[in-house]
């Protein structure tokens, strides 16, 4: 005999030594509840740093937790300020034209966009923990707020009420955002997956661009609706209104802005080209209009703007009346959308620069910022991706860049407002179109198609939904679809048939590992999901079908004796799951097949033990630590039995 073979069999014998599945140490229900709640709401264990510290340190750490400025403020230096000054001025040059444009997108007076670039950045500088977030109004939230409020109130017929509703929605958005943070329910924004956002933002970009056709073509009688079809219909119905002067100006500035964008994409060092372009265009076009009195030649301009900083607006918030439902709904949706953008931006740059942003804390910061904003004439704001990227490129080191931007906007509000009187609307339209074109991310969409077809479907449904149903409808459709997918994964969990990889004690998926072989007399299934009410019927049917197929295939000699369920992946079980095992065991007994469990987790063992002391599921001879040990032990029992029988 080959000595290697001897040794091998010796090894197998050693491996056959059976290890016990240990029932878990007992824990009280209260203890388990506490552990569960901690895992659910405090997975990042925010209090860890407080442990074992003296009271004074605890207080300092607590203050720093709520006001991150106390953390970086004391270490602030002139060198850092130089960087922040440059980046702050850069984003201000972007924030001023974008603020005006986005306010118009939300059907609000242009000056509200500037107000919103003044107060919220200051609040964020104190509360926020991201060093790169550039705070201000963003296109998506502006679009959604404008389109939702317009369903009930016309911004032209009743501008004061519309403004009231906008501020009130902003308040609810902030309240909702802060609550998510305080209640540690931040995972809710995770349901807006990357795939949904890519589809949604592309759709919204198209919707936003279509809205700009009003300014770009110089149409005065434009539809109130947002969908692709009504807007295109309206555009071609009013073809007689198109103004060639406006179109020409629009095309010129659009080309200029897109070129600047292209340059900055190709050469990231020239980021200031695209960052400065909007302000440059505004200045040039304003001068041009003023010089040639173009407002008299069919080019519409912004008109007179109020001067001075934000007036208080808390008296404009309404918490009752017929529009309360709309205001809350608008707040909820714009709140969640802007939160998603802000958190994603914060996380992206934090990962890039290797510091940490606490999601729940950021939600509180953004929420509080919007609540303060709503009472100082600001509408909903967050960290904008494009502006934050510019901020980062321009070398921002801390939130002081937001303060610099804010001060610049304040100066503008106090002294420079008359200059915008002759700014043509068409330039604002071109600025918006250039800004939102960046939201269409075709390579990412292609990547999703390559990796996961269902995610692509979700993306497509968000995209199509936004274009053809409505902004909220598209979101709801996509979120519903992806939640449904998760539920289907639970309802139809994977069950995999395992086989032995020759020469090892490893058992793996027979379909994946072609060399794996089945063990006669055994059916080894691995269940890959928690077992609960939603899947017990399926698991029962599927298991019985495996067994029937097995009975059909197998030769008389090796009739099926054991069903081994590998339970490592069954992370939880409920009462329905327990009843599945009872039922399965009863069915199997009628077929004289024995049920064997491998490596059930603590929770599962504990619950199976409680079923019925009489039936005793957890007998030592039907519970093993690994499939290998189960088969080795059961085979030897089988052989012993049959030799007794034949003897």
Q: Which of residues 451-470 bind its own copies (CB under 8 A)?
A: 451-455
Q: Quick one: tokens of 420?
A: 């915008």
- Per CB under 8 A, the segment of 2-10, 228-236, 239-247, 635-643 that binds its own copies is 2-10
Angle at 213 between CA 211 and CA 216, to 5 degrees: 130
Per-residue string for binding with its own copies, 534-553, x by CB under 8 A?
Answer: xxxxx--xx--x--------
Q: Which of residues 191-210 bind its own copies (CB under 8 A)?
A: 191, 193-196
Quick one: which of 388, 282, 310 has its CA closest to 118? 310
**Cα separations (Å) of 463 from 148, 195, 211, 233?**
18, 10, 17, 20
Please state, as a whole number, how many other Cβ atoms lie within 10 Å of the Cβ of residue 440: 17
Q: Which of residues 556-595 bind its own copies (CB under 8 A)?
A: 568-569, 571-572, 574-576, 578-579, 583, 586-587, 590
Angle in degrees, 0-180, between the axes of helices 359-374 and 119-127, rounded to the nearest 10: 150
**Shorter beta-carbon distance to its own copies: residue 269 or 590:** 590
Q: Which of residues 128-147 bind its own copies (CB under 8 A)?
A: none
Q: Which of residues 623-642 bind its own copies (CB under 8 A)?
A: 625-626
Quick one: which of 207, 153, 484, 198 has its CA closest to 330? 153
Quick one: which of 197, 230, 188 has its CA closest to 213? 230
**Shorter beta-carbon distance to its own copies: residue 240 or 450:** 450
**Shorter beta-carbon distance to its own copies: residue 33 or 265:** 33
Smallest distance, its own copies to C-beta of residue 498, A: 11
Do the beta carbons of residue 198 and residue 445 sit within 8 Å?
yes
CA distance 496 to 101: 56
Among 322, 354, 643, 644, interactor with its own copies by CB under 8 A: 354
CA 174 from chain centre, in angstroms, equals: 18
Per-residue string for binding with its own copies, 322-351, x by CB under 8 A?
Answer: -----------------------------x
**Cα separations (Å) of 5 from 18, 503, 631, 632, 633?**
22, 11, 20, 18, 21
* 355 forms part of the interface with its own copies (CB under 8 A): no
Q: Which of residues 58-117 bind its own copies (CB under 8 A)?
A: none
- Per CB under 8 A, the segment of 279-287, 383-391, 411-419, 501-509 that binds its own copies is 501-509
Smallest distance, its own copies to C-beta of residue 22, A: 5
Q: Which of residues 5-64 bind its own copies (CB under 8 A)?
A: 7-8, 10-11, 14, 19, 22, 24-25, 29, 33, 39-40, 43-45, 48
Burial of 579 (0-12, 13-18, 19+ CB in 10 A): middle
Burial of 346 (0-12, 13-18, 19+ CB in 10 A): buried
Q: Which of residues 592-621 bind its own copies (CB under 8 A)?
A: 599, 601-602, 607, 610-611
Among 9, 57, 307, 509, interactor with its own copies by CB under 8 A: 509
Smallest distance, its own copies to C-beta of residue 492, A: 5
Do the beta carbons of residue 323 and residue 175 sit within 8 Å?
no
**Type and span of the H or E element at 570:** none
**Shorter beta-carbon distance to its own copies: residue 30 or 78:** 30
Output the DSSP codes for 546-567.
Answer: HHHHHHHHS-GGG---EEEEE-
Per-residue string for binding with its own copies, 213-242, x by CB under 8 A?
Answer: ------------------------------
**Shorter beta-carbon distance to its own copies: residue 297 or 453:** 453
């Amino acid at each position: 005999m080959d000595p290697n073979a001897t040794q091998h069999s010796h090894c197998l014998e050693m491996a056959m030594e059976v290890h016990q599945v240990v029932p878990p140490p007992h824990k009280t229900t209260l203890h388990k509840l506490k552990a569960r709640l901690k895992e659910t709401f405090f997975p990042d264990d925010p209090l860890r740093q407080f442990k074992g510290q003296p009271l004074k340190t605890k207080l300092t750490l607590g203050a720093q937790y709520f006001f991150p400025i106390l953390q970086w403020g004391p270490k602030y230096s002139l060198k850092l300020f130089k960087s922040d000054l440059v980046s702050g001025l850069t984003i201000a040059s972007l924030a001023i034209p974008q603020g005006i444009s986005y306010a118009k997108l939300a059907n609000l007076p242009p000056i509200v966009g500037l107000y919103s670039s003044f107060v919220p950045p200051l609040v964020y500088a104190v509360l926020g923990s991201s060093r790169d977030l550039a705070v201000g109004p963003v296109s998506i939230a502006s679009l959604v707020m404008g389109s939702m409020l317009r369903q009930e109130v016309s911004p032209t017929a009743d501008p004061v009420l519309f403004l009231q509703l906008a501020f009130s929605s902003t308040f609810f958005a902030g309240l909702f955002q802060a609550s998510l943070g305080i209640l540690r329910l931040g995972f809710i924004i995770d349901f807006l997956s990357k795939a949904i956002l890519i589809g949604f933002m592309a759709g919204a970009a198209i919707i936003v661009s279509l809205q700009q056709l009003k300014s770009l073509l110089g149409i005065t009688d434009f539809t109130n609706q947002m969908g692709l079809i009504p807007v295109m219909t309206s555009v071609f119905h009013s073809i007689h209104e198109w103004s060639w002067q406006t179109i020409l100006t629009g095309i010129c500035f659009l080309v200029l802005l897109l070129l600047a964008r292209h340059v900055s994409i190709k050469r990231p060092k020239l980021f200031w080209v695209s960052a400065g372009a909007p302000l440059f265009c505004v200045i040039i076009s304003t001068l041009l209009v003023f010089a040639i009195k173009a407002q008299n030649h069919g080019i519409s301009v912004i008109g007179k703007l109020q001067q001075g900083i934000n007036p208080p607006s808390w008296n404009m918030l309404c918490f009752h009346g017929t529009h309360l439902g709309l205001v809350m709904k608008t707040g909820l949706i714009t709140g969640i959308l802007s939160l998603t953008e802000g958190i994603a931006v914060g996380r992206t740059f934090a990962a890039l620069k290797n510091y940490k942003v606490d999601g729940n804390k950021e939600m509180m910061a953004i929420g509080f910022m919007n609540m303060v904003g709503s009472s100082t004439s600001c509408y909903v704001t967050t960290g904008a991706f494009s502006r934050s990227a510019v901020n980062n490129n321009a070398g921002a080191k801390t939130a002081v860049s937001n303060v610099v931007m804010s001060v610049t906007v304040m100066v503008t509000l106090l002294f420079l407002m008359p200059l915008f009187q002759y700014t043509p609307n068409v330039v604002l339209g071109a600025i918006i179109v250039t800004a939102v074109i960046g939201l269409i991310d075709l390579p990412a969409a292609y990547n999703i198609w390559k990796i996961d077809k269902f995610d692509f479907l979700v993306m497509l449904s968000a995209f199509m939904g936004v274009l053809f149903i409505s902004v909220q409808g598209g979101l709801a459709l996509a979120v519903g679809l992806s939640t449904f997918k998760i539920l289907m994964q639970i309802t139809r969990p994977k069950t995999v048939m395992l086989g032995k990889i020759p020469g090892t004690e490893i058992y793996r998926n027979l379909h994946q590992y072609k060399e794996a072989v089945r063990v006669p007399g055994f059916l080894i299934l691995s269940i890959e999901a928690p077992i609960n009410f939603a899947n017990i019927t399926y698991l029962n049917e599927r298991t019985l079908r495996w067994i029937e197929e097995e009975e059909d295939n197998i030769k008389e000699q090796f009739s099926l004796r054991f069903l081994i369920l590998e339970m490592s992946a069954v992370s939880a079980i409920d009462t329905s799951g327990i009843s599945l095992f009872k039922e399965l065991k009863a069915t199997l007994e009628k077929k004289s097949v024995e049920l064997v469990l491998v490596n059930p987790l603590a929770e599962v063992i504990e619950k199976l033990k409680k079923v019925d002391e009489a039936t005793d599921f957890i007998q030592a001879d039907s519970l093993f630590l690994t499939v290998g040990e189960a088969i080795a032990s059961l085979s030897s029992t089988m052989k012993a039995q049959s030799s007794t029988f034949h003897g």
